[in-house]
Structures are given as structure tokens and as C-alpha cells.
């Protein structure tokens, strides 16, 4: 999966995300950090879904909603197209 982010992003161990292109910062919760790291590693949404269910012991419905919400927020923040 190619890099989908519009500019260089750095996520700290504590979930602090810095957008090098705009100078804006965001705070990600553990779910957001987990999804972000997997996107960075090049995983696709279906793969992330399975990993999220295993990691956080949540239903498929909850995991799918979390992933959709996260992608929507990335888009609203202008971090992805």
C-alpha cells in the first residue's frame, strides 16, 4: 500500500502526532495510534480490522466503526485525500 498521507507525519510513543507540512499537532488515543501505525506499515483496512479485533478484544462492528471514524477524521484534518 503506498503512503496515503499528504505530508510527513511523526507519531510519538505517547500518541502525539506532528504534521511536518502544516505544523499542526493531534493527540491520538490508543485505538487511533494502533490504526495509524498499521497504516504507516502499509496495511489495508481489512487487515487492520482483523488486527484491531484481536488487539482490543472488540466486536467486528465496533472495530469497523473505529476504523471508519479514524479515516474520516484523517480526511477532515486534510491528512489524506
The string over 44-72, giving b where at least 16 C-beta atoms fall within 10 Å of a residue's C-beta and e elsewhere, is eeeebbebbeeeeeeeeeebbebbeebbe
Q: Interface mask (CB under 8 A) for another protein, residues 23-42, using x and -? A: xx------------------
The answer to whether 4 contacts another protein (rule: CB under 8 A) is no
67 versus 74: smaller Cβ distance to another protein: 74
Q: How far is CA 17 from CA 32, 37, 58, in A?
A: 10, 11, 25
Nearer to another protein, 9 or 35 (CB): 9
Q: Compute the least distance from the CB of residue 42 to another protein, in Å.
A: 22
Residues near another protein, by CB under 8 A: 7-8, 10, 18, 20-24
Amino acid at each position: 500500500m503506498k503512503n496515503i498521507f499528504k505530508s510527513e507525519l511523526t507519531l510519538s510513543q505517547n500518541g502525539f502526532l506532528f504534521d511536518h507540512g502544516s505544523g499542526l499537532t493531534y493527540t491520538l488515543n490508543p485505538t487511533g495510534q494502533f490504526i495509524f501505525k498499521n497504516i504507516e506499515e502499509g496495511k489495508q483496512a481489512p487487515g487492520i480490522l482483523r488486527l484491531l479485533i484481536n488487539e482490543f478484544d472488540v466486536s467486528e462492528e465496533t472495530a469497523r466503526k473505529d476504523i471508519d471514524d479514524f479515516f474520516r477524521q484523517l480526511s477532515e484534518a486534510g491528512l489524506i485525500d
